[in-house]
Amino acid sequence: MDSSLRPPVGPAITVEPPHWISRRSRRMAVIGLILADQALILIGFAIAYWMRYLAVWPEPLNRIIVEVEDKNQVDFLAFLPIIFPLMVLLSLRFAARGLYRSSRRISLIDQISIILSSTLTGIALLIVFVFLYKPFYYSRLIFVFVGAAITLLLSIWRILLSGYRHWRWSRGVAQERVLVVGGTGLGQQVMNGLAASPGLGYALVGYLNDRPIVANGRAPRIYRHIGQVEDLEIVIAKHQVQQVIIALPFWEHGRMPDLVQTCRDLGVGYQVAPDFYQLSFDRVDMLQLSGVPLLRPKEISLKGANLALKRLIDVGLVLLSAPFILPVALLIAIAIKLDSRGPALFRQTRVGKDGQLFACYKFRTMVPDAEARKADLHALNEADGPLFKMRDDPRVTRIGGFLRRRSLDELPQLWNVLRGEMSLIGPRPALPEEVERYEHWQHRRLEVVPGCAGLSQALGRSDVSFDEQVRLDLYYAENWSVGMDLRILIMIIPAVLGGHGAY
């Protein structure tokens, strides 16, 4: 271990919490966010007032919105006694629901959900209060406009803010410095996930472990060993660590209370990665037997009614998007034919649900003899596990490179979706030779219908390791919901537009 990390002999040293400045800046950022929300709530009320009293609506909306006698028309200043209480009420509600926590810990969908539910609650309470004391003073319709305007403005603001933050994080700006405690398989998976997803806002400082990671006789360059587990306090101060992820194997969990207390004493955030790797990477359900907690592998949720609902959504979305996708597909096919010889479509055998083989369709992005040349390039494979990936694959055509970066080469797979062989969201379909090299636990990903895109594409696409892809696929299969599919679709859009990790 580096001797500079060992404490000096003598009186006990006091390590000052290293991030009081960043904590103060975070508090200022929260205050700024609250003030911005207050301003948008006021603007939303002004827009609602304009919509109710000043806007000219086309018929027949005008007869519905504008009352004949206009007896409820009052000056905008007359709304101030209810505007300011609503601003305070919504701010308190947003804070209680966690809207002002770190954006790394609350998703964009959750933020919009909090805004919608809190605004509806605030408007409902305001209506009750107003019509108890002044039942005929304010227009009832303006409260509908107020709720819609505030929800829309705050949601757009959060979308823009989230996009800006992720744009900065993906370029290494304002990332949170993270230290991983643990260097076994679990710790390596955590570090791989951090390295593959810079848009999450984390910068990996290194890891602590009693022994450095060694592969093929040398330490991997992607893992930076900066000390032993007992050096946590000194490493936090020396490297300005802002977040600690404890990823110790289950046989070392006895060290966890001291590590957690160290993080608390220094005012540093911490998270714990549970070691369920002995359960074949599955998520688990917790049961109790006379007060004793029991863990059991979670069942696949994509069955029965859930599977039927997912199928209905898939077919509906494909049919609705067909008028827009078909012209784009035609232009792509023409571009492929003009760029290189060979067919526009590429047909390949893939493994579907329960190991069934099917013909998967894509736009051709490689030269016609690409499969025959694959063996010559096997030594240059950049992917782990059974996958074959190359960043600068010489077989890819000019138009093919563009299609791959934007995932447009996969548009023909919508035909597989209509045939029921694939879904819009799900694990990517594997090649038969890849499945032959699966480890036993990895076969569980074949228990669900494969998809055009999945969690791994949303989080990192080709930058995610194969084990991590399988783990994400299992999580998806075990925890599926309509909301999860919607979140994945929203996450995939910036990944596709940015071309991150696609090759």
pLDDT digits (tens, 9 = 90+) for 173-214: 878 899 999 988 888 888 888 887 777 788 899 999 988 887
Per the domain annotation, does 294 fall within a domain?
Answer: no
Q: Which of 170, 186, 209 is the last residue of a domain?
A: 170
Separation of alpha carbons 415 and 495, rounded Å = 23
CATH number, domain of 210, equals 3.40.50.20
Residues 163 and 200 in one domain: no
3-state secondary structure of 357: strand
Look at residue 105 in the predicted model and tell me its pLDDT.
Answer: 63
Per the domain annotation, does 330 fall within a domain?
Answer: yes
Dihedrals φ, ψ of 72, to 5°?
-95, 5
- Average pLDDT value for residue range 131-149: 76
- Check: CB of residue 287 under 8 Å from CB of residue 296: yes
Alpha-carbon radius of gyration of the chain: 28
Dihedrals φ, ψ of 74, to 5°?
-130, 165
User: Is the confidence at residue 407, as pLDDT, over 90?
Assistant: no
Residues 349 and 240 in one domain: no
Separation of alpha carbons 499 and 503, rounded Å = 9
Separation of alpha carbons 297 and 243, rounded Å = 30
In which element (H, E) is residue 362 found? Answer: strand 357-363
Reply yes or no: is the peptide bond before residue 60 cis, omega within 30 of 0. yes
Q: Which of 223, 257, 275 is the last residue of a domain?
A: 275
Per the domain annotation, does 292 fall within a domain?
Answer: no
3-state secondary structure of 270: strand
Domain that holds residue 371: 304-498
Query: What's the structural domain count of the chain?
Result: 3
Q: b/e string for 391-401 if b means 16 or more Cβ within 10 A? A: eebebbbebbb
- Here the tokens at position 436 are 């032959």
Separation of alpha carbons 87 and 91, rounded Å = 6
Q: What is the DSSP letter of 13?
A: P
Per-residue pLDDT band for 458 (boundaries 50, 70, 90) equals confident
User: Is the confidence at residue 18, as pLDDT, over 60?
Assistant: no
Question: Considering only 86-90, 263-267, 296-300, which range has the smallest mean pLDDT?
Answer: 296-300
Separation of alpha carbons 62 and 412, rounded Å = 47
Residue 6 CB partners (closer than 8 Å, separation 6+): 231, 234
Please report the beta strands in 247-291, taking only residues with DSSP state E, as ranges in sequence order: 269-272, 284-289
Per-residue pLDDT band for 51 (boundaries 50, 70, 90) equals confident
Kindly give the pairing relationship between strand 284-289 and strand 243-246: unpaired
- Average pLDDT value for residue range 144-158: 93
CB atoms within 10 A of CB 332: 19
Residues 84 and 120 in one domain: yes
CA dihedral sign of residues 345, 350, 356, 357: positive
Q: Which of 170, 188, 217 is the last residue of a domain?
A: 170
3-state secondary structure of 215: strand
Residues 140 and 82 in one domain: yes
Return the closest-CA partner of residue 279 out of 185, 394, 385, 362.
Answer: 185
Per the domain annotation, does 472 fall within a domain?
Answer: yes
Per-residue pLDDT tens digits for 328-359: 999 999 999 998 888 999 999 999 999 999 99
C-alpha angle 114/115/117, rounded to 5°? 65
Separation of alpha carbons 270 and 257, rounded Å = 12
Return the closest-CA partner of residue 427 out of 442, 405, 406, 441.
Answer: 442
Residues 180 and 43 in one domain: no
Look at residue 209 in the predicted model and tell me its pLDDT.
Answer: 92
